Each structure stands twice: as C-alpha cells, then as structure tokens.
Amino acid sequence: MKFVTLFDRRWPLSLSVAASFGRVGATRAASTLTIRDALNQQQCLNSPPLIAPIDRRRFATVKKKRQWNRTAQQSEDEEDDEAEEEEEEEDDGEDEGMPTDCRTKEFTMLSRRLDTVVGVALKTSISALGNWILQGRVRVNETVVTKKAHEIEQGDLVEVWDAPYEENARLATVHRLRIVRCRFDQRKGYVIKTKCWPNYIMENWVSGDEAEEEEEEGEEAQQQQEEEEEKGDEAERTAEETEKGSGRHTK
C-alpha cells in the first residue's frame, strides 16, 4: 500500500483516505474536495459585494455642519438686508431739503480711491477727474482734497466744481455727491451706493483768478476749434477750385 503526500492544504483528508483505500480513493477524495472548493468559489462570486458599514455619527455631523453653514449664510444675508433698509431710512432723513432730481447709483469697486469712485459715479473719465483734483476743484466734507488716492468713507459728501454761476461770481455750479453706502464684501469687493445732484448751486470755493483762468482756457479752446474749422473750410474751397481748374484744362 502506497501513501500519497499532497502539499495542498485544502485537501487534508486525502492522506487518511490514501491509507485506507489506496491511490484510487485518494484521487476520488481529492476530486471531491476540488469540486466542493469550486462550488464555494462560485457562491462567493455570485454573492453581493460586502459594503463597509456607514458611520452614521460622522454622516450626521457633516449634515448638521452643512445645515449650520446654510443657516449662518441666511442670517448674514438677512442682517445685510436689515442694515440696508436702515441705511435707506436714514438716507431719506438726511436728504430733507435737498433737490428731488438726484441720481442714485450702486456699483462695486476693488478700491475706495477718490478718483475712481467719483469718476464711476459721475460717468467721467478718471484722468479728467484726476486733473480736477490736482487743481483743487474737488472737496470732501467741505475740505479741498488734492490727492487722487484719497479713500472715501461711508457718509462722505463730495463736491466737484463745474463752473462759476453766471449771475453771481461768488456762487458756482457743482456736482454734489454723497456716499450712501460703502461696505466690503469678500466675494464682490467694495459695494458702494451714491446719490448725485448735478448742477447744484452753492458757494464758490475756487478763487476768482482760478475761475478766470478756467474761462480763458475755455475761450482759447473755443477759438482754436473755430480756427481749425476755418482752416478746414479753406482747404475744401481750394480743393474745389483746383478740381474746377483741372476740368477747364481738360476741355
């Protein structure tokens, strides 16, 4: 009788079967065990995959955190809306006695520079407004400001000198601008709301010499424009005369 030694640990019964029945019994037992292992493997393949259990405590914590963030954002938005309503009520009280033909504008900026904010509010080029600031034609809270990088604050009153009043040189027409709101938003930048009164008549803080210089500059510019127009007319006349002369020669 021969003993069969198998190194596969899945067939531990093959040795005892070989001792009793010989090689044929060991082969039958080994084949039986092999079929059984194949069936077990097929059952494992057909069975659904194992899913790790969900940590419900962690899931609930994340869900609560998201809900808390939403409620916090909603509360911040509500607070901003309430603050804006309060500011509008205060604005209505401060505008008593002012002309009703005011223009309200709201916009966002990346800075609070005087030249950029007032330029956007008045729809004026920033370079022109910068020159006016350097000339002393802009006041902030009744104080002349000559720095273009001056930062405005909420509640500031900005006055831009336009021209002396025709009937009285002591008065002037200005663009009066009030900063109604100026708050910082992390997503947008500076949210600014302004009210503007164009052609507002008030005291003339620009000296008479400066006003005369402004008038002289305007007159000079007008004269230059008229001279350029006259030159253009003369050029057209000469061109017409040359065309007529060339036509006569061809005939």
Q: Would you say residue 74 has pLDDT above 80?
A: no
Between 9-23, 27-41, 127-141, 210-224, the lowest mean confidence (pLDDT) is in: 9-23
- By C-alpha distance, which of 159, 155, 128, 131 is closest to 144? 159
State mean pLDDT over 157-185.
92
State mean pLDDT over 33-57.
59
pLDDT score, position 93: 53
Task: Record the tokens describing residue 124, joined without a space.
Answer: 């004026």
**Torsion, Cα of 9, 12, 15, 18 (10° steps):** -110
Task: Record the tokens describing residue 72, joined without a space.
Answer: 């916090």
- Can you tell me whether residue 98 is helix, strand or coil? coil
Q: Would you say residue 9 has pLDDT above 70?
A: no
CB atoms within 10 A of CB 66: 10
- By C-alpha distance, which of 221, 215, 114, 131 is closest to 172? 215
Q: Would you say residue 5 has pLDDT above 50?
A: no
- By C-alpha distance, which of 135, 134, 139, 180 is closest to 159? 139
State mean pLDDT over 187-213.
83
Q: Is 189 exposed, middle or buried (0-12, 13-18, 19+ CB in 10 A)?
A: middle
Task: Record the tokens describing residue 186, joined without a space.
Answer: 């992390």
Q: Would you say residue 60 has pLDDT above 90?
A: no
132 close to 138: Cβ distance less than 8 angstroms: yes
Q: Can you state the angle between helices 114-122 and 126-134, rounded to 10 degrees?
A: 120
How far is C-alpha 60 from the chain's CA centre? 35
pLDDT digits (tens, 9 = 90+) for 144-153: 999 999 999 9
pLDDT digits (tens, 9 = 90+) for 96-141: 666 777 889 999 999 999 999 999 999 988 889 999 999 999 999 9
pLDDT category at 236 given cuts 50, 70, 90 is confident
Distance CA 127, CA 241 (A): 44
pLDDT category at 176 given cuts 50, 70, 90 is very high
pLDDT score, position 183: 93
- Residue 194 phi/psi, 5° resolution? -130, 155
pLDDT category at 15 given cuts 50, 70, 90 is very low
pLDDT score, position 166: 87
> Could you give the strand order of the β-sheet that contains 143-144, starting from the edge strand earlier in sequence?
103-109, 189-203, 171-185, 157-164, 138-140, 143-144
Identify each DSSP E strand in the chain by its residue range.
103-109, 138-140, 143-144, 157-164, 171-185, 189-203
pLDDT score, position 181: 94
CA angle 223–226–227, rounded 5-degree value? 85
pLDDT score, position 119: 92
- Can you tell me whether residue 122 is helix, strand or coil? helix
Q: Would you say residue 50 has pLDDT above 50?
A: yes
- Can you tell me whether residue 50 is helix, strand or coil? coil
pLDDT score, position 4: 44
CATH superfamily of 101-212: RNA-binding S4 domain (3.10.290.10)
CA atoms within 13 A on the CB side of 41: 7
